[in-house]
């Protein structure tokens, strides 16, 4: 038996997770994260001790699996490791079904270090909802007529996504015709010169055309992937993933968004969050301090030097990383006087005077 102790306001409280004995009924499982804990079962709600994701019921797992987005990562010999590994981490947390495709099923070497065996070749790859392309030896890979023809042959694609010089795959296939795009800093001029029908942006972390997203080089792919998750699953979900990954360089919306579905439009004004900031009492004399993270334009709870994200849901309601509901209480003048937690619904935790 394993015990995890964290203050309930930011995470889960005192949670006991026990793998059930033989013959007992199991209700809770870990959400799919492509790790060994995907096969574990638990008899109580809580947090997975392996990947720190909130446990869900088997019924919720069934619904989640049915809604999975399928994303094909096209990988070529010489591909840049972080170009694809960063977004792969993001999409795995987001419960996308990620599979790899290359021209053939022969092993490929990334940066002369990592050997990768593709799941599929272009001859037998299944249909994907999203196609993703990455940099590294791209001039050779995307001058291959068979590869470009395969890209063109993919029908009913929901989104095209590229990192670094992976944008040249979309350019060669005509996906970027008449659109705005970006790529790796040393390849911007090349993209502009050889594809005059594309408006090339040279100072954006990513460019979102709606159904086509291109990013700058290498680490920018993480930002682009978080942005796509925000579009599909909401800004709060992208924040949770960035928190789990400890990716504290992400500035939400730090790109050129040309589409109408801007997932940050309701979160850009921090003025409305100011009323919640301050110090609150909690259990056993513990104090919780709420502050605004100006980089994320969002609220964090701080205790003993540790930051925990708090997610705005509407009105005076927030949730924490474990999806406990936090409701702030006001007086007749609409001043915040305290909060209640769904874990302790009958207890009011007062805001302390400054």
**Angle (CA) 190 228 71, round 5°:** 85
Q: With H, G, I as helix, E, B as strand and everything else as coil, classify residue 56.
A: strand
Question: Is 164 known to be catalytic?
Answer: yes
CA 21 vs CA 6, 27, 41, 59, 335: distances in Å? 26, 13, 11, 21, 50
Distance CA 324, CA 320 (A): 6
**Angle (CA) 130 135 136, round 5°:** 140
- Looking only at the bridges linking them, the beta strands covering 159-162 and 130-133 are parallel
In 94-213, which ranges are continuous DSSP H helix? 138-141, 145-153, 167-172, 188-194
The pairs formed by 265-271 with CB atoms below 8 angstroms and a separation of 24 or more are 266/235, 267/235, 267/297, 267/298, 267/312, 268/297, 269/297, 270/294, 270/297
The count of other CB atoms within 10 Å of the CB of residue 155 is 6
Nearest residue to 181 via CA among 171, 173, 193: 171
Pair 255, 207: CB distance under 8 Å: yes
CA 150 vs CA 127, 133, 155, 324, 346: distances in Å? 12, 13, 10, 46, 60
Distance CA 166, CA 244 (A): 27
Beta bridge partners of 115: 109
Distance CA 228, CA 65 (A): 19
Q: Return the active site residues.
A: 164
């Amino acid at each position: 038996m394993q015990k995890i102790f964290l203050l309930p306001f930011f995470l889960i409280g005192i949670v006991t997770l026990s793998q059930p004995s033989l013959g007992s009924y199991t209700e809770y499982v870990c959400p799919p994260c492509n790790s060994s804990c995907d096969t574990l079962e638990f008899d109580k709600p809580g947090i997975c001790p392996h990947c720190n994701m909130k446990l869900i019921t088997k019924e919720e797992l069934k619904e989640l699996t049915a809604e999975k987005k399928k994303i094909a990562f096209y990988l070529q010999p010489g591909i840049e490791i972080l170009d694809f590994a960063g977004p792969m981490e993001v999409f795995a947390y987001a419960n996308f079904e990620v599979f790899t495709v290359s021209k053939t099923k022969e092993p490929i070497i990334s940066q002369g270090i990592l050997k990768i065996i593709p799941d599929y070749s272009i001859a037998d790859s299944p249909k994907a909802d999203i196609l993703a392309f990455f940099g590294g030896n791209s001039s050779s890979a995307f001058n291959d007529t068979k590869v470009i023809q395969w890209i063109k042959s993919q029908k009913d694609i929901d989104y095209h996504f590229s990192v670094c010089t992976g944008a040249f795959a979309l350019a060669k296939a005509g996906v970027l015709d008449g659109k705005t795009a970006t790529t790796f800093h040393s390849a911007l001029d090349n993209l502009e010169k050889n594809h005059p029908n594309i408006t090339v942006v040279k100072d954006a972390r990513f460019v979102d055309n709606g159904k086509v997203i291109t990013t700058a080089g290498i680490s920018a792919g993480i930002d682009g992937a978080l942005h796509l998750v925000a579009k599909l699953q909401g800004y709060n979900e992208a924040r949770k993933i960035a928190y789990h990954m400890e990716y504290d360089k992400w500035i939400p919306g730090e790109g050129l968004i040309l589409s109408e579905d801007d997932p940050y439009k309701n979160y850009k004004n921090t003025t409305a969050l100011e009323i919640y900031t301050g110090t609150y009492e909690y259990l056993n004399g513990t104090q919780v301090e709420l502050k605004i993270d100006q980089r994320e334009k969002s609220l964090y709870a701080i205790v003993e030097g540790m930051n925990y994200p708090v997610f705005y849901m509407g009105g005076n309601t927030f949730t924490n990383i474990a999806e406990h509901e936090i409701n702030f209480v006001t007086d007749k003048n609409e001043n915040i006087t305290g909060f209640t937690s769904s874990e302790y619904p009958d207890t009011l935790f007062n805001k302390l005077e400054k």
